[in-house]
A and B are shown apart, each in its own frame.
Chain A
Amino acid sequence: MLKNLNSKHIQRFSYKYLPQFPISPNSPKLGFSRSQIANYRSNFPTTIMSSSKTIVLRSSDGETFEVDEAVAVESQTIKHMIEDGCADTSIPLPNVTSKILSKVIEYCKKHVETPNADEKVAEEDLKSFDADFVKVDQSTLFDLILAANYLNIKSLLDLTCQTVADMIKGKTPEEIRKTFNIKNDFTPEEEEEVRRENAWAFE
């Protein structure tokens, strides 16, 4: 256990978990020594060990990303892989490039960090994060949808799909064609027929 510890772990440990433990004269201060951590771990094995675990994700282009397990399991796909014991070394994600994976990780981190938004401030902060998150070019947006679908992250899939829906909803066909670069291959007669079939939709 001690062999796997490095300074990265110690920093995370102090930042994240200190506020949760009751403050007493004997409680650890910032900047733990390795022996202190080993001592702590032996006293509170379950709370610390499971919380500080990280998962390594490997994108399709070979880049690796180390993330907290709590962040990684926002993805139901990854969660099931961990539960099935397939996450010993790293989890390969052949369908996700590093560019998209880093964005997805950013999204999951933000949503894990923000506590269950009962407070208005946290809720508004998250909303504006989400709004900025989807301000990307169309191709990246589609990639995010595909990644959210493959990784089974419901909130990200809902967010990205709603963004695309808002690009379609209420727009004229010409505007939609322009947005998505769709070529109108109807003849005028065919187009007239389609408009007649669904007349009320075009009112």
Chain B
Amino acid sequence: MSSIGENVDDLLNRLPEEIVSHILSLMPTKYAVRTSVLSKKWRYVWMSVTNLDFAYPGGRPFNQFTFTKLVDWDDNNFTRFVDRVLKFCKTSHVKLFRLHISRYQVPKSRLSNWINNAIKLNVCEVDICASTRLPSSLFTCKTLAKLRLNQSVRESLSSIYLPCLKSLDIVGFPNSKLIHGCPMLESLSSKVSRCDLKKDYIFNIPTLKRLELTFASTINFVNHKVVLRVPNLEFLSVVGVLSSSIVVEDVSSLVGASIACHEPTVNQRWVELLKIIRRVQHLSIQYVSFFFERPTNSILLK
């Protein structure tokens, strides 16, 4: 149907602008902007993307074992790229702002500048992996519905108010200021670290429907409890090495649960947890043997 050498059946001719911008939003911004060199018609098409997705240097997200290398953040192609995209993107409602910077430490002022730009564009979802402290403006963003960080939310923030936030994925347990500042929180994913378990912790979130707890394998067994006071919880996931026992106060609304045990043996704490959640409709159990590090037993029960 398409004739060779002509642009008659070109993507841009066939599909309306909203769809082309939707397609370009389905990939990292680097590749969307690359289309600028395809032809004259394509030069500025990328500016209508709704997702701003940056990864530097490209690839794996940051983990806590980082080392700071010397990068001149003032004279850097990546910096110029991000600045240019933020300046020229036409949308006034950014759906996703993702920034993954691994192995390098971006200066606080520059990161704040980028995040503030995204906030000005009414960003809905923010996903940041960086070793830099985040600006407090991120925690008072009125349009934010989904937030994913590879760091914890520090206690020293003066105010937290995220009226639209439904989904939160952070390191550590949320402090009370954070919980009060997120009145609509429905989904919480928490990577539990050693300092979270220094005392008993009570999850007191009435709106929460979904909770995922990932316990790092570096934590030793502690005598403290994690109490779930979440009466409307529908889905619970517990992954890793269960270093403390989990007490669930009210399981009546629980519909599904997922357990992944990464310990050499399924000890008493796991058994007690299973006793609590056994009446759910959907249960997934995974047992990853410590020595072989691959799932040896995976059951899906109804």
Contact = CB atoms under 8 A, between A and B. Distances in A.
B31 A170 contact: yes
20 contacts: A118-B282, A120-B300, A137-B1, A142-B9, A142-B15, A145-B15, A169-B26, A170-B31, A177-B38, A182-B11, A183-B7, A186-B37, A190-B40, A194-B36, A195-B37, A198-B34, A199-B81, A200-B77, A201-B31, A203-B77
A201 B30 contact: yes
A146 interface: yes
Given A181-B9, A199-B77, A199-B80, A168 B36 contact: no
B104 to A, nearest CB: 14
Contact of B2 (A139, A171, A200): A139
Nearest to B298: A120
A158 B24 CA distance: 12
Contacts of A176: 34-35, 38
Interface in A123-149: 137-139, 142, 145-146, 149
Interface of A: 118-120, 137-139, 142, 145-146, 149, 161-162, 164-165, 168-171, 173, 176-177, 180-186, 190-191, 194-195, 197-203
Given A139-B2, A200-B81, 16 more contacts: A137-B1, A168-B23, A168-B27, A169-B27, A170-B27, A171-B31, A176-B35, A181-B4, A181-B10, A182-B11, A183-B7, A184-B38, A191-B37, A197-B36, A201-B33, A201-B36
A171 B31 CA distance: 8
A198 B35 contact: no
A191 B38 CA distance: 9
**Interface SS of chain A:** helix
Interface residues of B, number: 40
Contacts of B11: 142, 164, 180, 182
Contact of A165 (B23, B34, B39): B23
Nearest to A199: B77
Contacts of A180: 10-11
B224 interface: no
A169 to B, nearest CB: 4
A201 B81 contact: yes
Contacts of B59: none
Nearest to B26: A165
A168 B35 contact: yes
